[in-house]
Amino acid sequence: MTRVYSRAINLPTFSKKLMSMTGMGEQWVAARIKQKGDSKCIPWKSLKDLILTHSDVRNKLDVFALSIYGLVVFPKALGHVDEAVVNLFDQLNKKVTPIPVILAETFKSLSACRKGVRVDSLDVQLLLAWFHSHFWKVDRVSYKVFSENYSPLKEIVATLRRDDISEKKWIAILQNLQEEDIEWRAPWLLPDEVLYRCGNFDWVPLLGIWGAVGYAPLLVLRQYMSRQFIPATQGIADCEFLYKDDGYRKKIQEMSSVWKQTHRMKRLAVGPMTTSEYHEWWVRGINDNTPKLN
């Protein structure tokens, strides 16, 4: 039984966690902890040296996995692994799943990009996989193999990278995307049920390592080959906060507790993929989170 990640209030010190993961002494760890901005971290070079020279195989593997999490999945300060990543990694052997955390930080980064805020922790690799899965078509027909063994990540690894596409070209591609260019369905992942809310929330609260965000799976029912309708999103913006905002500890406790009451719905794949009301809602750009003027 997996559990969702929750940032503990009373955490062991950063140095003690690193001592446990690396198998190194307090003096070695203390000499390598750095301060980058508002958080502590450890340089990749120090971890790399451990991977190459450590005598304990288990510690080697732990340090290698920690480095992937800190440099690839949750990058922040270039060439360093952030303390928040270590906090998450410490919980993985306690049957905590990292998936909601990855989604939380990705959605938070995308939200910040939409607001024009500089983002240092965007998981570009995950977004690239999503792009390939949903945008790339051949002659307006998705070329994906409808097979249980299909893996978009394996396909991306095997695909030659094109470095000749300029930033200007990327902007033009994204600005000119039409609805028919997008493959809404995810053919390799079609569950019979969709998790759509937790507790009293009309959405799913996601706790990341630096903050939290609310996500409404009912907004993307087409990805599950289910009929799309207008979801309830009133108040979802209140779920987005950083772990340094006022009252964040109380919000963490509230969002963690509702995961004990999850609600799922059966997929409905009959008739048109969207309701007429949803199409009007989408065209008008209606947003329940935008206050209406009196």
At 229 the pLDDT is 67
Distance CA 267, CA 269 (A): 6
Could you tell me the residue ranges of all domains in the chain?
3-96, 99-181, 193-284
pLDDT value at residue 278? 63
Those residues of the chain that have pLDDT short of 50 are: 138-141, 143, 290-294
Distance CA 177, CA 42 (A): 41
Return the pLDDT at 288.
56
Rounded Cα distance, 55 and 57, in Å: 6
Q: Give the 3-state secondary structure of the chain.
A: CCEECCCCCCCCCHHHHHHHHHCCCHHHHHHHCEEECCEEEEEHHHHHHHHHHCCCHHHHHHHHHHHHHHHHHCCCCCCEEEHHHHHHHHHHHHCEECHHHHHHHHHHHHHHHHCCCCCCCCCHHHHHHHHHHHCCCECCECCCCCCCCCCHHHHHHHCCCCCCCCHHHHHHHHHCCCHHHCCCCCCCCCCCEEEEEECCCCCEEEECCCEEEEECHHHHHHHHCCCECCCCCCCHHHHCEECCCCCHHHHHHHHHHHHHCEEEEECCCCCCCECHHHHHHHHHCCCCCCCCCC
Q: Give residue 115's pLDDT.
A: 77
Residue 24 is predicted with a pLDDT of 93
Q: Is the separation of the CB atoms in 52 and 93 below 8 Å?
A: no
pLDDT recorded at residue 40: 94
Sequence-separated (6 or more) residues with CB below 8 Å from residue 62: 21, 22
Q: Say what the pLDDT of residue 291 is.
A: 45
